[in-house]
Amino acid sequence: MTISGSLSRRPDEGKQAASGLEWLALLLVALLAFLGVFGLVLAYEAWCADRIYPGVWVGEIPVGGLRPEEAARRLQDHLTVPPVRLVGPDRAWDAPAADIGLRLLADATVRAAFRVGRGPEDGPVTHLLLLLGGHSVAPIFSYDESAARLYLQALAKEIDIPPVDATFTLQGLTPVSTPARPGRMLDVEAALADLRQSIRNPWGARVELVVREAPPQVTDAEAARAQAEALLSAPFTLLFPNPRQGDPGPWSLTPEGLARMLTTTVQGGHLTVTLDREALRVFLEEIAPSLAIEPVDARFHFDRRTGQLVPISPSSPGRALDVGASIENILAAVAAGQHTAPLSVRTVPPRFPDTATAEELGIRELVAEGDSYFIGSPSGRDHNIRLAARQFDGLVIAPGETFSFNRYLGEVSKEAGYDEAYVTMGEQLAIEVGGGICQVSTTAFRAALRGGYPIVERWAHYHRVGYYELRGHGPGLDATVYSPLVDFKFVNDRPTALLIETEIEEANHRLIFRFYSTGDGRRVEIRGPVITNETEPGPPIYQLDEKLPPGTVVEWQTAQKGFTATVERWVYDAAGNLLYHNVFVSKYAPRRAAYHYGPGYQPPEE
């Protein structure tokens, strides 16, 4: 057996070795390719670390591959926000984005673009798809609705058409009406709501503006025209209710007068016609005095024995036109189509009815008294003093009231019963109706002076008058009156009423004013008169009187010096505190003697 000592290969063993080398080479190539791609991916991701991934767009503007600040500049330079189209009933407006408060937020938009591809599940595949397919990010805007509201409000001025109210006018005395017309108005709030939806994507945004009909406030004036026509067809008569003998009225408002008073009101969209309240008030206040009757206060005497008031003349109520109620009567008649209406009057009660008691009024005692003498007065003067004094007998003056001598004196005339008598007037005594009344005002002044009442108006006579100085009264204690210019006034400053009584002591021709009230402990000091500034009268006056017998001369007035008399008064309260200090200064002019002479008398030369 032969054993061969040599070694040999089989053919299929070589083929297997070659195939293994190829796979090894392929594996090496794949490994190298993977490493290349991996490196590229790493390099790509590193490059995109601070950039927006390629393939990202904002609208139609590519921002991929740009850093955020570069992308923001590109958006600001190239992204234009289009106007929003606002469509109205007659035309359309392209509202600039800035005018309606729409503004691109470039930084916020870039931040949104930068976040694309950076989610927790995003990877290289996502980034490859971005690169191949792209991704669009919607721009982010801010919206200021207040700017949009202002824009729409300005736009409304072009859109709005105000409604036209139905009107009523007068052409002379002919009423004319015109019909109403509706208007239109932009509904700004509705437009804002639509705009708020549309600007989510401002490209191609279109808003149909909501325009509503604006109805007129006054839809009909025909009823007013007919009402005015009926009202102006005849005079309107005002009637006095329950007229008495001598009452005024009736009053008639002519169509022309009614036309001047017409006014309109709106009720439920319809125009109605009536008379103007203020015009009626003016008319009624003009006629009110003719209807007024002043209430008459009762007059009293105080019974010192019983401490009670004794009525000496009754009270009576007055009446006054109730203007407000009369206006309502007239307007109600006008609304009812009537041409007559009653006036309304109200009763005015007296301040002091004859049922008033001393306790109610606070009249308890004598608080002051003033007197004067008119001894030797001519009959006319004597009569006037008595008549005037009666005007004040029994008067009640309310607390706080200002007593006016002229008010209570009333009319001074022959018709009122006054006679002619001497009065001081100018350089010579004159004869006039009512001479002597100043005797009464002087006496009232003395009572108020001694009672400590505040004197608010007092005038001295122009010349010294002897009547006021009879029986020890000095000068400076007189008070002249001449209605309506010269008055004597004082204030009842006590909290209770003041009763004035007048009396004439026939035996002495003495006039007395007595004041009854409630004493408050006040004390009065009167000093004077102090006489100063004496002046001598001038030469006598001679005046021809054709009625005197020939050659006769009559002394008309005696001469008197002029001077100033000063009287002072201090009034203290019960505690000794000074209430009033008054200085009454009476400047009496000198008075020349005067003589009247008949024909043929030759006056002495001066």
Cβ atoms within 10 Å, residue 59: 16
Using alpha carbons only, give the angle 124, 126, 129 rounded to the nearest 5 degrees.
Answer: 110
- Statement: residue 480 has pLDDT above 70: yes
What residue type is assigned to position 231 of the chain? L
Place of tokens 């009926």: 230
Tell me the C-alpha to C-alpha distance, in Å, between residue 319 and each of 243, 288, 289, 295, 355. Answer: 12, 10, 10, 7, 20
Joined together, the tokens standing for residue 596 give 């009247």
Spatial contact of 482 and 460, defined as CB atoms under 8 Å apart: no
Separation CA 583–CA 483 (nearest Å):
24
Least-confidence region, from 3-17, 184-198, 267-281, 289-303: 3-17
N-terminal to C-terminal alpha carbon distance within the chain: 219
Digit-coded pLDDT (tens) for 75-102: 888 888 889 999 988 889 998 988 988 8
Spatial contact of 329 and 343, defined as CB atoms under 8 Å apart: yes
Digit-coded pLDDT (tens) for 593-604: 888 888 988 888
What residue type is assigned to position 202 of the chain? P
DSSP, residue by residue, 520-567: ---EEEEEEEEEEEEE---S-EEEE-TTSPTT-EEEEE--B-EEEEEE
Paired strand residues for 1: none
Q: Which residue has the higher pLDDT, 553 or 353?
A: 353
- What pLDDT was estimated at residue 2? 29
Looking at residue 482, the DSSP 8-state letter turns out to be: B
- What pLDDT was estimated at residue 221? 87
Give 41's pLDDT tier (boundaries 50, 70, 90): confident
Percent of the chain exceeding pLDDT 70 equals: 95
Full-prediction pTM beyond 0.75? no
- Work out the burial of residue 334: count CB atoms within 10 Å of its CB; fewer than 13 is exposed, 13-18 middle, 19 or more buried: buried
Q: Is 15 helix (H, G, I), strand (E, B) or coil?
A: helix
Looking at residue 358, the DSSP 8-state letter turns out to be: H
Joined together, the tokens standing for residue 380 give 């006319």
- What pLDDT was estimated at residue 73? 92
- What mean pLDDT value characterizes the chain? 89
Joined together, the tokens standing for residue 474 give 């000095």
222-348 folds as Ubiquitin-like (UB roll) (3.10.20)
The mean pLDDT value for 7-29 works out to 64
Give 340's pLDDT tier (boundaries 50, 70, 90): very high
Least-confidence region, from 12-16, 466-470, 552-556: 12-16
What residue type is assigned to position 580 of the chain? Y
- Statement: residue 434 has pLDDT above 80: no
- What pLDDT was estimated at residue 426? 63
Residue 586: CA atoms inside 13 Å, Cβ hemisphere, count?
Answer: 26
Give the distance from CA 134 to its chain's centroid.
75
Place of tokens 């009660």: 349
- What pLDDT was estimated at residue 17? 60
Joined together, the tokens standing for residue 557 give 């007035």
Q: Which of 481, 377, 381 is nearest to 433 (CA)?
A: 381
Digit-coded pLDDT (tens) for 238-249: 998 887 777 888
The mean pLDDT value for 529-533 works out to 96
- What pLDDT was estimated at residue 8? 41
Joined together, the tokens standing for residue 22 give 């190829």
Tell me the C-alpha to C-alpha distance, in Å, between residue 373 and each of 86, 168, 391, 473, 489. Answer: 103, 75, 18, 9, 22
The mean pLDDT value for 567-581 works out to 97
Spatial contact of 463 and 426, defined as CB atoms under 8 Å apart: no
Separation CA 208–CA 221 (nearest Å):
36
Digit-coded pLDDT (tens) for 133-153: 889 888 888 889 999 999 999
Separation CA 327–CA 280 (nearest Å):
7
Separation CA 400–CA 494 (nearest Å):
7
- Statement: residue 10 has pLDDT above 60: no
Q: Which of 250, 282, 275, 238 is nearest to 260 (CA)?
A: 275
Spatial contact of 451 and 524, defined as CB atoms under 8 Å apart: yes
Radius of gyration of the chain, Cα coordinates, nearest whole angstrom? 57
Digit-coded pLDDT (tens) for 356-379: 999 999 999 999 999 999 998 999
- What pLDDT was estimated at residue 437? 93
Count of helix runs (H) and strand runs (E) in the chain: 14, 36
Q: Which of 149, 217, 223 is nearest to 183 (CA)?
A: 217
Torsion of CA 421, 424, 425, 426, to 10 degrees: 140
User: What sign does the CA torsion over 26, 27, 32, 34 have?
Assistant: positive
- What pLDDT was estimated at residue 16? 62
- Statement: residue 290 has pLDDT above 70: yes
- Work out the burial of residue 149: count CB atoms within 10 Å of its CB; fewer than 13 is exposed, 13-18 middle, 19 or more buried: middle
- What pLDDT was estimated at residue 543? 86
- Statement: residue 299 has pLDDT above 90: yes
Q: Where are the domains of the chain?
A: 222-348, 362-597
β-pairing, 340-342 vs 84-87, is: unpaired
- What pLDDT was estimated at residue 292? 92
Give 5's pLDDT tier (boundaries 50, 70, 90): very low
Least-confidence region, from 114-128, 274-288, 421-435: 421-435
Give 351's pLDDT tier (boundaries 50, 70, 90): very high
- What pLDDT was estimated at residue 9? 44
- Statement: residue 315 has pLDDT above 90: yes
